Structure 1
């Protein structure tokens, strides 16, 4: 597993940034770093499952391991999904390596109304290129928050 960290400062209060990051309507605007039409289904609550998917319905399912509003979100990838939010069976060797990947978000209130958002990903090296979209996603989120 490789650990990747991405950080950005956003000129809005931490509650606002947390809200936009988890907002179903705002999500496609910052997740477009991975493709247009991204969406999710599920609830941001401990033990809850969230499915993140593209316009074809393909994506990944996570379990929310821990959520502290305005502070942190910790998620583990537990399945790949296809259209209809069905879990994909018989994953190839590479995709099996995605299962168990960790994705954590940390929200830090700075002085004034500024927030530092840190994303920490622990995933197999095979997915490092896919994770390189995070800096662009964070820039999109910053634009959404500061608009």
Structure 2
């Protein structure tokens, strides 16, 4: 496992950036660089369940490790959904189960510094780098409108 980090300055409030990240319509817009028609379902509770879905219905099962809106959310990935079935036990899943995905928003005198850290398997580094580079540029665009 390796950790990738991303930073972007956004000329908008933390709450506006938070809303762009997690409101369903804008979430689908900025995550299209990972998978078209992506959605998420969450109870937005620490220790609760969050599902991240691709347009095909496959995805990830996660929990929220830490939540402090609009400053921080940390997801812990627990398993995957494939062909409608949840998997938290296979060797494939165990190789990355427990990986964290952190979104930290810092207020710099009205400018938001968005910092993202994501634990990944090295073979996905290029895909994740490209997705976050394009996705966070879209978050910036949407938040600064």
Give TM-score, length-normalised by structure 2: 0.89
Is 2:91 the counterpart of 1:103?
no
Partner of 1:146 in structure 2?
144
After the TM superposition, which residues 24-43 of structure 1 pair with which residues of structure 2 at under 5 Å, given as runs? 24-43=24-43
Q: How far has the Cα of 1:9 moved from its partner?
A: 0.8
Higher mean C-alpha displacement, 114-123 vs 124-133:
124-133
Q: Which 5+ residue runs of structure 1 have no aligned equivalent?
A: none
Provide the alpha-carbon RMSD of the alignment: 1.7
Give TM-score, length-normalised by structure 1: 0.88
After the TM superposition, which residues 111-126 of structure 1 pair with which residues of structure 2 at under 5 Å, given as runs? 111=109, 113-126=110-123
SS state at 1:21 partner: helix
- Per-residue CA deviations over 1:78-97 (Å, capped at 9, x if unaligned) read 0101354x30367464x442
Q: Which 5+ residue runs of structure 2 have no aligned equivalent?
A: none
Partner of 2:74 in structure 1?
74
Q: How far has the Cα of 1:7 moved from its partner?
A: 0.6
Alpha carbons 2:79, 2:88 under 8 Å: kept: no
